[in-house]
Structure 1
Amino acid sequence: MSATTTTTKALLEAKSIEAGYGASQVLFGIDLTIGAGEVLALLGRNGMGKSTLLKVLTGTLAPMRGSVHFGSDAIGGHKPDAIARRGVAIVPEGRHVFPNLSVEEHLRAFARPRPGSAPRWTVEALYGLFPRLAERKANAGNQLSGGEQQMLAIARALSTHPRLLILDEATEGLAPVIREEIWHCIATLKAEGEAILVVDKYVQRLLPLADRHVILERGRVVWQGDSAALDADRSLWTRYLGV
Structure 2
Amino acid sequence: MTPLLEVRGLQTSYGPSQVLFDIDFAVNDREVATLLGRNGMGKTTTIRSILGLTPPKAGTVRFLGERIDHLPPDRIARMGLALVPEGRQIFPNLSVEENLKAFAANRAKANEPWSLDRVYGLFPRLQERRNNMGHQLSGGEQQMLAIGRALMTNPHLLILDEATEGLAPLIREEIWRCLATLREQGQAILVIDKYVKRLVRLAERHTIIERGRVVWEGDSQHLAADEGLWVRYIGV
User: Which TM-score bucket, shorter chain as reference?
Assistant: over 0.9
Q: 2:78 aligns with which of 81, 85, 97?
A: 85
Distance 1:118 1:232, change over 3 A: closer
Cα separation, 2, equivalents of 1:110 and 1:90 = 12
Offset at residue 139 of structure 1 (A) = 0.3
Offset at residue 115 of structure 1 (A) = 3.3
Please say if residues 58 and 80 of structure 1, whose CA atoms lie closer than 8 Å, have aligned partners that are also in contact.
Answer: yes
| Counterpart position of 2:201 | 208
Cα separation, 2, equivalents of 1:147 and 1:134 = 14
Aligned residue pairs total: 236
Cα separation, 2, equivalents of 1:59 and 1:97 = 20
| Counterpart position of 1:59 | 52
Q: 1:232 aligns with which of 225, 229, 235?
A: 225
- 3-state SS of 1:178 partner: helix
Say which is worse superposed, 111-120 or 201-210, in terms of deviation: 111-120
| Counterpart position of 2:123 | 130
Alignment of 1:105-116 (within 5 A): 105-115=98-108
Distance 1:82 1:155, change over 3 A: same
Cα separation, 1, equivalents of 2:53 and 2:4 = 20
- Which amino acid letter does the alignment assign opposite residue 74 of structure 1? R
Distance 1:224 1:116, change over 3 A: closer
Superposition CA RMSD, Å: 1.1
> 1:74 aligned to 2:67?
yes
Offset at residue 9 of structure 1 (A) = 3.5
Offset at residue 41 of structure 1 (A) = 0.9
Please say if residues 11 and 21 of structure 2, whose CA atoms lie closer than 8 Å, have aligned partners that are also in contact.
Answer: yes
Please say if residues 211 and 227 of structure 1, whose CA atoms lie closer than 8 Å, have aligned partners that are also in contact.
Answer: yes
Alignment of 1:3-42 (within 5 A): 9-42=2-35
Deviations along 1:46-78, whole A, 9 cap, x unmatched? 111001100001110111100101012110031
- Which amino acid letter does the alignment assign opposite residue 90 of structure 1? L
| Counterpart position of 1:3 | none
Cα separation, 2, equivalents of 1:113 and 1:190 = 21
> 1:98 aligned to 2:62?
no
Runs of 4+ in 1 over 4 A off after TM superposition: 116-119
- Which amino acid letter does the alignment assign opposite residue 53 of structure 2? T
- 3-state SS of 1:100 partner: coil
Scaled by the length of structure 2, what TM-score is found?
0.98
| Counterpart position of 1:5 | none
- Which amino acid letter does the alignment assign opposite residue 231 of structure 1? A
Cα separation, 2, equivalents of 1:174 and 1:137 = 21
Cα separation, 1, equivalents of 2:109 and 2:164 = 33
Cα separation, 2, equivalents of 1:94 and 1:117 = 28
Cα separation, 2, equivalents of 1:161 and 1:116 = 7
Deviations along 1:143-197, whole A, 9 cap, x unmatched? 0000000000000000000000000000000000000000000000000000000
Scaled by the length of structure 1, what TM-score is found?
0.95
| Counterpart position of 1:174 | 167
Distance 1:143 1:56, change over 3 A: same
Offset at residue 116 of structure 1 (A) = 7.2
Gaps of 5+ in 2: none
Gaps of 5+ in 1: 1-7
Identity level (%): 60
| Counterpart position of 1:193 | 186
Cα separation, 2, equivalents of 1:131 and 1:233 = 37
Say which is worse superposed, 76-85 or 133-142, in terms of deviation: 76-85
